[in-house]
Structure 1
Amino acid sequence: MTQAQLGEACGLSQSAVSRLEKRGSSQYAMDVLLRMSQHLDIPATLLGLAGPTVQARIGTESVERRQFLGAAAAVAVSPALAVVAGPVDEAEQQAASLRLVTTSYRRLDGSTPSRELADAVRSHLRLIQGLVGTAPTDVHRIRLATVASEAASLAAWLAWDMGDHGSARSFYGAAIKAARSGASPLLAAYQIGSLAQFEAHTGNGVQALSLAERARSHLAPGSPAVADAWLSAVEALGHAAAGDQRAADRALTRSRAAVRAEPGAEPPPWP
């Protein structure tokens, strides 16, 4: 369906549809979003819209695009919902649904300014952290903690991108703590390595190398080769930040060797 065809069906110009697809900063009335959801057969709740009892009064209301950012991202990956719609337990279903939202935000990060995403991601993280605190069973808590780690890591990256280094460190710390609570050594290695990468880019080479060493301590025998390759690259950044060119070169050589050891390896087992 072209933008013009969708606009004609929903009473919008082609340029208005284009702006909506590009996640512009304009405001969009909820009745417009409702017409689009009905025409495309998208459940209204995925667009952040209320049920029929409330939809009757939304004609004159409008909300900022950011309020619908998470919901719009969910629509973009709605076919993936079928993956978690099977006969799984409640804990797995909830964790999978929350992870889908985090994944959606990660995809939006490539085309949306960090400042426009940050508030939504932080709200999403607070929701997950609240659910972790009220989880009815240990299994439920562990699964949610892993999801919380992934969301905290994304919040850290957005803060880093905005130059808010204090918040970035805080969120990376939360990501590491949650990964450990989620009993996921490989994810903990990734989060500690991400903090190491951050420290290297901010010029703290010694701290970056110390964190990279900590990250390696979480890699169990048989961990994916890509984990070793990535950590070697992070170590190269640390050595570069410390001004040690030869050590940086050696770390990059180790990284290449790890990649070549498994040319047909699966994609990285982390966000």
Structure 2
Amino acid sequence: MPQLPPDLWSRPRIAAALATCDMAAVIEGVRTARGWSQGDLARAVDYSQSWVSRVVNGQQALTVAQVHDLARRLDVPLHLLRFDGTAPPTPEEIPADRGGERGTITNGSPQNVVHTVVNETTAPALRSITGGQRRMDSTSPTLDLLPSAVTHVQLAERMLVKARGTGHHSAVSAAASEASGFAAWLHADQGDMGSARMHYRTAVIRARQAGMRLLDVYMLGSLAAFEIDTAEDPELGLGLVQEAEHVLGPSAHPTARAWLACVGALAHAGIGDRSAAAHAIGRAEKEISRSGNINPPWPWVFAFDHAKISGYRALVGVRLRSPHDARTAFAEAARPVAQGAKQSAVLKVELASAHAEAGDVDEAFRLAVEALETGVRFGSARVVDRVRSFRRRYRGPGAVCVRELDDRLAALVTGTPVAG
């Protein structure tokens, strides 16, 4: 099969088609780039030629599942497709400051009111801001952090424009990737799926501009985890994991390979493939047992160890409705206090699901109430929605603990305080 040109996805017409999920233009671009006839294209995607003709001519609507299938068969990078029709801003689309950061023209003469120099301190300064925001995430409501995080992304993008043609472009690109990745995390916590995807996609693009393979993989894997866990689209998440594994290669650091295998295990579990999920967890365990699994590579902060794999095994058990396996794995995992408050609350809801499946209703609802309190305190729509979803799934007998959670959820809607 002819190889696709490396610059195909960045060509203006194809990039615009990807940004609006115009699959007719994307498919026709792939067909032309490979030198295929329409019959060749039909055979490659395993659809009839008449159906392919209608798609290419814009006469055949596609389901999301068909878009995923065609992208997989044609090697279209899934993370570049924009299902909501929005794309991340390019540096040129970021407006200049009113102070004239890029300069204004008056009587034909450039007047730079403000001139910012990008140097070896720029990228570390940008990264330190992101690092500080991440540390505050464990103690601050998301809505308090989100405006400054978005502003920081805009700052990083402006610095990236100024870094063009300098020896600092790669480092600033990496800093911009980190900033966008954190903004994506915050938007996801607020349930803003479109903005979260936009920022994750920007994070991947900036990582690739930086030429940092591990950062590229980390952002792709983070996007995959978002699609699997928050957007509840394990098929799309699995495709992104597979793309990240291709980028990572077979000889990467064990921490990176173990983490990515665990994200893949969540995708397999979400699909219901018990065997593939177990195989992925097994691969992760082999990786962390390698002698080289020390001093994790940036952007990972901690080495992937048995406790972390136990945590993923527990999440897999919840999704596969294996409550006893999940509870055992949760007991082996790192203590929740090691996590940030919001992430710890998410894990409490997962553990609550395992207890409920095992028939331990009191403990399940105790954990759910604790998670809800954290979600309300930190303004985390993600945590609150997880608790609501947990309650909707529960079909067991009523009890005092069940009524307590119901009262608290009702109070969120009515605004009335909970008695007692």
Using structure 1 for the length normalisation, give the TM-score. 0.64
- 1:253 corresponding residue in structure 2: 282
- 1:175 corresponding residue in structure 2: 203
In the superposition, relative to structure 1, how do residues 93 and 220 fare at CA in structure 2: closer, same or farther (>3 Å)?
farther
Give me the whole-angstrom Cα distance separating, in 2, the residues matched to 1:210 and 1:264: 26
Q: Percent identity over the alignment?
A: 35
Give me the whole-angstrom Cα distance separating, in 2, the residues matched to 1:214 and 1:134: 31
Give me the whole-angstrom Cα distance separating, in 2, the residues matched to 1:140 and 1:264: 30
Matches within 5 A, 1:1-271: 91-201=119-229, 202-220=231-249, 222-262=251-291, 265-270=294-299
* SS of residue in 2 equivalent to 1:119: helix
Instruction: For 1:224, give the aligned amino acid.
Output: H
Provide the aligned length of Structure 1 versus Structure 2: 183
- Deviation of 1:120 (Å): 0.5
Instruction: For 1:104, give the aligned amino acid.
Output: G
In the superposition, relative to structure 1, how do residues 90 and 262 fare at CA in structure 2: closer, same or farther (>3 Å)?
farther
Instruction: For 2:247, give the aligned amino acid.
Output: H
Give me the whole-angstrom Cα distance separating, in 2, the residues matched to 1:268 and 1:185: 11
Instruction: For 2:224, give the aligned amino acid.
Output: A
Q: Which has the higher helix share?
A: 1
CA contact (8 A) 2:118 2:159 kept: no
In the superposition, relative to structure 1, how do residues 185 and 257 fare at CA in structure 2: closer, same or farther (>3 Å)?
same
* SS of residue in 1 equivalent to 2:265: helix
Give me the whole-angstrom Cα distance separating, in 1, the residues matched to 2:235 and 2:166: 37
CA contact (8 A) 1:233 1:252 kept: yes
CA contact (8 A) 1:91 1:143 kept: no
Give a deviation string over 1:199-223, Cα, whole Å, max 9, x none.
1112211111110011112214542
* SS of residue in 2 equivalent to 1:92: coil
Using structure 2 for the length normalisation, give the TM-score. 0.42
Q: Which is worse superposed, 190-199 or 134-143? A: 134-143
Unaligned runs of 5+ in 1: 1-88
CA contact (8 A) 2:255 2:293 kept: no
Unaligned runs of 5+ in 2: 1-116, 301-420
Give me the whole-angstrom Cα distance separating, in 1, the residues matched to 2:254 and 2:190: 32
* SS of residue in 2 equivalent to 1:97: helix
Give me the whole-angstrom Cα distance separating, in 1, the residues matched to 2:268 and 2:164: 45
In the superposition, relative to structure 1, how do residues 194 and 264 fare at CA in structure 2: closer, same or farther (>3 Å)?
closer
Q: Which is worse superposed, 127-136 or 146-155? A: 127-136
